[in-house]
Amino acid sequence: MLEIKNLHAAVDGVAILKGIDLTINAGEVHAIMGPNGSGKSTLAQVLAGHPAYEVTEGSVTYEGRDLLGLEPEERACAGVFLAFQYPVEIHGITNAYFLRAAINAKRKCQDLEELDPIDFMEMLEEKLDVIGWTDSLMERPVNHGFSGGEKKRNEILQMAVLEPKLAVLDETDSGLDIDALKAVADAVNKLRSPDNASLVVTHYQRLLNFIVPDFVHVLARGRIAKSGGKELALELESKGYDWIKEPAGV
Amino acid sequence: MTKEPEIRDEYVADYEAFSRNGGSGVPQWFEDLRRAAISQFSATGFPTTRDERWRFTNVARLKDTKFALANGERPTLSLGEVKQHVLGAGADQCLVFLNGRYSKELSSIGGIPQGVLAGSLRDVANSGSKRVERHLAKYAKTSDSPFTALSTAFMSDGAFVYVPQNTIIGEPIQLLFLTASAGRPVVAHPRNLIVVDRNAAASVVESHIGLVDGTYWTNAVTEAVVQENARLHLYRVQREGGEASHTATTQSHQRRDSSFALTTIELGSALSRHDINAVLAGQGAECSLYGLTQIQGRQHVDHHTTIEHARPHCNSWEFFNGIYDDDSRGVFTGRIVVHPGAQQTDSKQTNNNLLLSKGARADSQPQLEIYADDVKCTHGATLGPIDEKALFYLQTRGIEAEAARNLLTYGFGVEILNRIEIAELRDQLDQLVHVRLDEGAERRRAGK
């Protein structure tokens, strides 16, 4: 589904990613771990198409297409979703209005008819059922005055509604208490299917107790220093990041 | 270009002619108010940007053109042309004014409840109403603004609305001020007085709509008196023509436990200056001012607000948003005065300005004058272009960049539009906001 080759990226002329190689197949959950400043969030932002990050080398192929050649909205329409580490507050626009605009943008590129507010609410209620939430925060402005936990839950709700093929979760666990963490992880697990894949970026192993990854990659200084199965996360938990000195196998 | 003292003298001469002719036949007290006001105007003339209150607004376009009194003009307009501007709710309680003068033919007042007075100020004043005499020009001070002085000097017509005690009016009373074809630059001075008596409640929609593209000037003053435990929601929509100037004062005076809300929407005219003066003159009174400006081209809108907390335990909220495209310019002044003894005042002011282009500009200045020690006053202002982080966020949700830009801009508008409790008015304005947004997006796409 996703093939990242020798990806280099810089922000404001400073190189952050220095040669990432990563392949993700449908049905897989990959975790990216690493210390602060290792480039985890940069990778997430580059995949979503943030204009501030400049790709200086390498390629990203998504379902046979050159992902880097697409605008952020085109990537979204193609099924790429980024759950933000810091979701943005939006004045005046209610969650319902925003979500409907997003779902209709997606339907438009699928040549489907737009959903009217009534159809949309029906669809939304189904999704809320799937992820087991009743409180939908629908009539409040997007992320405005939301708690940290509500903002993160809201990201997951958007993911549930937009049904991405590739979901990138950027530190969705940071700042969550254990109950909120479980709720978010639970929702992500319910959305797992053989047809889609997730890339879970996290600083802490804790999340991976609940979202069990197929692969764990450790990022250090802009490269993948080590890859392994879910047990690698536990090793990191007990040993910290210091033992991973140099990128392996390069 | 006419020199300022000369044009001032011309308005004084106009006044003399007006008081002998078109403005004659009014009671003595009415005439006395006018005469005092023209003396006031004659002493000060038009404001200059040297005056702190007019620092950001240059009224040269009013000084450089001589505007004839619109009273003499008698344009004709069909009922059909008027109808599209009338809200369905309360369509039978709509007063229509054409070039500043009440039009009985175009108005529809059959639905006005018994006991409620809503009609031409001129007619009511001439009928010897003590109510008008008691309140008219008692709140909006001619010394506060030369334009209030001019309004008072040329007072001739406008709306008088009186809601008697314990009367609740469900549907809004509409005051529709239309300017239709005039062969030359004309000025109208519509003058409104709204009195909501004890325990009564009403909403009033005051709309100023230009049906012509030419140069004209509306100088409006509305005084609203909200008596003990009464409620008034006043909506004000400014949609003058593109070459028009609009100067206005909305002056409210509240008694104990009353509630006054003003929602003002500024979309039209080349130059608009709206002075909003709210006086909380009784304990426990509440006042909410909401404003939305959405302008483009070289339009200029200046909101100059003053809230006076004269008594204890009063609350005031102020929430103004501005959306400025092209080379337009917005000004917001939020002056809050807490008088000695006005303890337990709770006042909150917010002013957000969105600049959609490099040429757009906004100035925001809070002015707090607090002479009591047990008060809560907060204020905040934002100013800047579209938030790039928010733009990216929306794009990652599949929304195309221009549409995302418009959605974010719409958010600024809808924050204020949501305060409008009349669904039809809200929908109508919502649509106007959207039309502007689409036009803006179209221009940006074409410019790329």
**Could you say which residues from 338 to 377 on chain B have a Cβ atom under 8 Å away from some Cβ of chain A?**
352
The answer to the question of residue B69 being in a domain is yes
pLDDT at A250: 42
**CA angle, residues B220, B223, B227, in degrees to nearest 5:** 165
| Helices A117-131 & A178-191 angle (0-180, nearest 10) | 110
Least Cα separation, residue A93 to chain B (angstroms): 5
Q: CB atoms < 10 A from the CB of B204, how many?
A: 26
Q: And the tokens for A142?
A: 């997007």
CB-nearest to A73 from B352, B400, B410 is B400
B408 contact A CB<8A:
yes
How high is the pLDDT of residue B200? 98
Q: In a 10 Å sphere around its CB, with 0-12 CB exposed, 13-18 middle and 19+ buried, how is residue A227 labelled?
A: middle
Q: Where in the sequence is the domain holding B64, given as residue range(s)?
A: 4-282
CB contact at 8 A, B49 and B60 = no
Nearest CA in chain A to B415: A92
B393–A76 C-beta distance less than 8 A: no
Domains: count for chain B: 1
- Inform me whether the C-beta atom of residue B447 falls under 8 Å from chain A C-beta atoms: no
| Residue A214: partners with Cβ closer than 8 Å, 6 or more residues away | A28, A29, A30, A229, A230
Please give the ipTM for the structure prediction.
0.93
pLDDT at B2 over 60: no
In this structure, what are the phi and psi dihedrals at residue B15, rounded to the nearest 5 degrees? -60, -45
Asked whether A157 and A181 are in contact (CB, 8 A), the reply is no
- Residues in chain A where the model's pLDDT stays below 50: 249-250
Averaged pLDDT for residues B309-315: 97
Residues B23-80 have pLDDT tens digits of 778 899 999 999 999 999 999 999 999 999 999 999 999 988 889 988 766 778 888 8
DSSP output for A15-60: EEEEEEEEEE-TT-EEEEE--TTSSHHHHHHHHHT-TTEEEEEEEE
- Partners of B384 on chain A (C-beta within 8 Å) are none
pLDDT value at residue A136: 65
The closest CB to that of A76, out of B396, B407, B408, belongs to: B396
Binned at pLDDT 50, 70 and 90, residue B3 comes out as low
Interface A:B, Cβ pairs < 8 A: 83
Torsion angle of C-alpha atoms B85, B89, B94, B98, degrees rounded to 10: 0
Instruction: Considering only the beta carbons, identify the residue of B395, B398, B411 that sits closest to A92.
Output: B411
Which tokens sit at B125? Answer: 């004043």
- Edge-to-edge strand list for the sheet holding B375-384: B101-102, B94-98, B173-179, B201-210, B231-239, B259-266, B286-295, B315-324, B345-355, B375-384
In chain B, the residue whose alpha carbon lies closest to the alpha carbon of A84 is B393
Residues B259-278: what's their mean pLDDT? 98
Residues A92 and A180: beta-carbon distance below 8 Å: no
Output the pLDDT for position B23. 77
For residue B189, pLDDT beyond 60: yes
Long-range contacts of B360-363 (CB under 8 A, 24+ apart): B360/B324, B360/B325, B360/B326, B360/B327, B360/B328, B360/B329, B361/B324, B361/B328, B361/B329, B361/B330, B362/B322, B362/B324, B362/B329, B362/B330, B362/B331, B362/B332, B363/B56, B363/B329, B363/B330, B363/B331, B363/B332
User: Could you give all domains of chain A from N- to C-terminal order, each with its CATH number?
Assistant: 2-85+161-239 (3.40.50.300)
Backbone angles phi, psi at B36, to 5 degrees: -60, -35
Alpha-carbon gap: A72 to the closest alpha carbon of chain B (Å): 5
**Which residues of chain A does B415 touch, with a Cβ-Cβ cutoff of 8 Å?**
91-92, 141
Q: CA of A46, closest CA in chain B: separation in Å?
A: 12
Q: What is the mean pLDDT of residues B94-113?
A: 94
- Tell me if B238 is assigned to some domain: yes
Across chain A, where does the E strand assignment appear? 2-11, 14-24, 29-33, 53-62, 65-66, 80-83, 166-170, 197-201, 215-220, 223-228
Q: Assess if residue B60 is contained within a domain.
A: yes
Chain A residues with CB under 8 Å of B414 CB are: 92-93
In this predicted structure, the answer to whether residue B245 has a pLDDT above a threshold of 70 is: yes
Nearest to B124 by CA among B136, B113, B138, B112: B136
Distance in angstroms (rounded) separating the CA atoms of residues A52 and A49: 9
- The structure tokens listed for A141 are 């402005």
3-class DSSP state of A141: strand
Chain A contact for B398 (CB, 8 A cutoff): yes
CA B69 from centroid of its chain's CA atoms = 20
Tell me the one-letter amino acid at A86.
Answer: Y
User: Token pair for residue B9?
Assistant: 């003298």
- Mean pLDDT, chain B, whole residue set: 94
* The two three-digit tokens of residue A56, written as one number: 């200086």
Tell whether B276 is covered by a domain.
yes
Is residue B316 in a domain?
no
- What's the pLDDT score for residue A34? 87
Q: Is B435 contained in some domain? A: no
Q: Are B53 and B277 in contact (CB under 8 A)?
A: no
Exposed / middle / buried, residue A74 (Cβ in 10 Å: 0-12, 13-18, 19+): middle
Which pLDDT tens digit goes with each residue over B404-443? 999 999 999 999 999 999 999 999 999 999 999 998 888 8
CB A75 within 8 A of CB A125: no
Read off the amino acid at residue B438. Answer: D
Q: Considering the domain boundaries, does residue B359 fall inside one?
A: no
Flag if A91 and B403 touch (Cβ within 8 Å): no
Mean pLDDT of B379-394: 95
Q: What is the CA radius of gyration of chain A?
A: 18
DSSP conformation letters of B200-236 = -EEEEEEEEEE---S-EEEEEEEEEEE-TT-EEEEEE
Residue B321 lies in a domain: no
pLDDT value, residue B7: 84
Q: Which element (helix H / strand E) includes B351? A: strand B345-355
**Closest approach of A90 to chain B, Cα-based (Å):** 7
Q: What's the mean pLDDT in B337-361?
A: 96
pLDDT at position B448 is: 59
Closest residue to B398, CB basis, from A73, A84, A87: A73
